[in-house]
Amino acid sequence: MARNNRHTGPYDHGEKIPPILIKGMFGVALFALILVTYARLTDRPLDALPDAGAPVAVERQIVIDAKIDGSAKVYDTEGTQVFEFAPNEGGFVAGVWRALELKRKQAGVALDAPVRLVRFKDGRISLYDDRTGWRAELVGFGADNTAAFARLLD
């Protein structure tokens, strides 16, 4: 009697993934959907964001004027140029500006309004647009990118 090499376990029907795992994946997805729906319906605060009320070490109002080539100029509220980034060094600053620019266009806010650049006592650096409620926690983008904004506070 010839023996075939076909697996004869509990999943003989050509299934590659056990049904219990598929049900488990759908269960996890459903649980996540329920959790997010609950949070949105009850207006839960965004707990994962760093504390905006933490002690501030340095704060500065700046105006960013960036170009698509990666260059950027940064001004104070008086219109004095604070820093100029060449195309090869201002890519991150220009990228952040493009995200802010989009948010401001959606909100109908002037593009040349200042933003707040804040270094907290714990060393974290954040950028706030009080006109739209937009904020960027710059520590999440790596040391080199955070350093580009840290220069503007020194």
How far apart CA 113 and CA 104 sit, in angstroms, is 10
Residue 92 parent element (H or E) = helix 91-107
Per residue in 106-151, pLDDT tens?
A: 999 888 899 999 988 888 888 899 899 888 888 778 788 888 888 8
Per residue in 19-30, pLDDT tens?
A: 899 999 999 999
Per residue in 6-50, pLDDT tens?
A: 555 565 566 688 889 999 999 999 999 999 999 889 987 766 666
* Domain chopping of the chain, boundaries: 54-149
Going by C-alpha positions, the residue among 48, 59, 57 that lies closest to residue 127 is: 59
For the whole model, what pTM was predicted?
A: 0.64
